[in-house]
Amino acid sequence: MDTNQNSYLVLAVLAALAVGFALAPLAAARAWAHFFSPQKPGKEKNAIYECGLEAKGDAWIHFRAEYYIYGIIFLVFDVETIFLLPFAVSFGGLSVGAFLAMVVFILLLVEGLVWAWRKGILTWK
Amino acid sequence: MIEDGLRSELAKQGVHVTSMQELYNWGRSNSVWPLAFGLACCAIEMMAASMSRFDIARFGSEVFRPSPRQADLMIVAGTVTKKMAPMVVRLYNQMPEPKYVIAMGACAISGGPFKQGYNVLKGVDRYIPVDVVIPGCPPRPEALLHALITLQEKIAKQPLTGPDRPRHLNADVAGEYPVPEYGKHDLEPPNNPEIWQPPAIKR
């Protein structure tokens, strides 16, 4: 029991040393900055933008997130291609369970395609 | 303070003495980080100075910082147009103290060949304090290295206390310089009267 406690004590001491080792230089740098260099913040210096231009306008603007549709359509065809080829190659040796699983998987992808088709995304505008 | 004679005698015996000021200045004068910032063809020479043939890394200044927050030195390399001048001053304001400026080339010093033009600032020292100027159009990379060494000597000589201490150690001196704005005909104000006055004409 005692030995166990001692071993954890060593761990705690080492952890404290590690934290101190990391924090001591930061504290020293902070103290140096505090005592030897007066901070001179200002409006320009605290500005967010760093390329010399002034930020104008509002950052809270509306982004159109329509790209996700193309992402989904790409995923449907991409995943289908990847899995259909090994499915076709090993078609003869598949067990019934594997065949059913594959059919369900493809039906899931086809369902996505049907959803996109009905939504009218596949029509070129 | 230790006398120079005694110090050199001690150094001959292998005992090197220094002061906090010298140590501090030695450290900061040998790690002057420039701002990655070029305005015209002088910037090409600045890039050449940072490459292997001239190798500004020998003097501790190879770390061109893309952000003014991490830079010590602004090398105004090229023509400062009036359109660009507010950005230059704003970038200078965003640099942390202590900060230094090298005006590189004829354009940055005085407007250079475009001095008679309507759109070129006739010297960047009208808005920000310049520590070292490099003549030339454009100056060779060696000239930039020479300017850097000159700046290092200047930093090494700066006293940390007393009335002549540098601006960054003087809490009373403001850290920002006013940014000019685009006026109807010229930048407003056309210069910063605190650091630059038009030369008086004596007849």
Closest Cα in chain A to B170:
A38
d(CA B139, CA B44) in angstroms, rounded, equals: 10
- Tell me what the mean pLDDT of segment A72-99 comes to: 88
Q: Determine the length of chain A.
A: 125
pLDDT in tens, A28-84: 999 988 887 777 888 888 888 888 888 888 878 877 777 788 888 888 888 888 888
- Cβ-defined contact of B67 to A50 (cutoff 8 Å): yes
pLDDT in tens, B158-199: 888 888 888 888 878 877 899 999 988 888 888 888 888 888
Q: Which contacts qualify for B145-150: CB closer than 8 Å, 24 or more apart?
A: B145/B49, B145/B54, B145/B56, B145/B59, B147/B102, B147/B104, B148/B32, B148/B56, B148/B59, B148/B61, B148/B102, B149/B59
- ipTM for the predicted complex comes to 0.71
Closest Cα in chain B to A51:
B91
d(CA B90, CA B97) in angstroms, rounded, equals: 14
Closest Cβ opposite residue B176 in set A37, A45, A51: A45
| DSSP H helical ranges for chain B | 4-12, 20-29, 42-50, 85-94, 105-110, 141-157
Task: Please give the interface size between A and B, counted as residue pairs whose CB atoms are below 8 Å apart.
Answer: 48
d(CA B120, CA A42) in angstroms, rounded, equals: 28
Closest Cα in chain A to B67:
A50
Helix axes B141-157, B20-29, angle to 10 degrees: 160
A37: which residues sit within 8 A by CB, 6+ positions away?
Answer: B97, B98, B168, B169
- Percent of chain B at pLDDT > 70 equals 100
pLDDT in tens, B42-82: 999 999 999 999 999 999 998 999 999 999 999 999 999 99
Lowest-pLDDT range of A50-64, A97-111, B7-21, B65-79: A50-64
**Cα first-last separation, chain B:** 49
- Cβ-defined contact of B88 to A37 (cutoff 8 Å): no
Contacts of A44 in chain B (CB under 8 A): 90, 93-94, 176, 179
A69: which residues sit within 8 A by CB, 6+ positions away?
Answer: A116, A119, A121
Q: What residues does B187 pair with on adjacent strands?
A: B182
Q: Which contacts qualify for A58-61: CB closer than 8 Å, 24 or more apart?
A: none
For residue A2, pLDDT beyond 60: no
Closest Cα in chain A to B94:
A45
Domains of chain B listed by start with CATH number: 32-188 (3.40.50.12280)
pLDDT of residue A1: 52
Is residue B110 within 8 Å of B138, Cβ to Cβ?
no
Question: Which residue carries 């700046």 as its tokens?
Answer: B151
A58: which residues sit within 8 A by CB, 6+ positions away?
Answer: none
Task: Output the pTM of the full model.
Answer: 0.73
d(CA B22, CA B20) in angstroms, rounded, equals: 6
Bridge-based pairing of strands B181-182 and B187-188 is antiparallel
Q: Does B170 touch chain A (CB under 8 A)?
A: yes
- Tell me what the mean pLDDT of segment A93-114 comes to: 90
Q: Does A40 touch chain B (CB under 8 A)?
A: yes
Q: What residues does B102 pair with on adjacent strands?
A: B75, B132
Sheet (strand B100-104) strand order:
B73-77, B100-104, B132-134
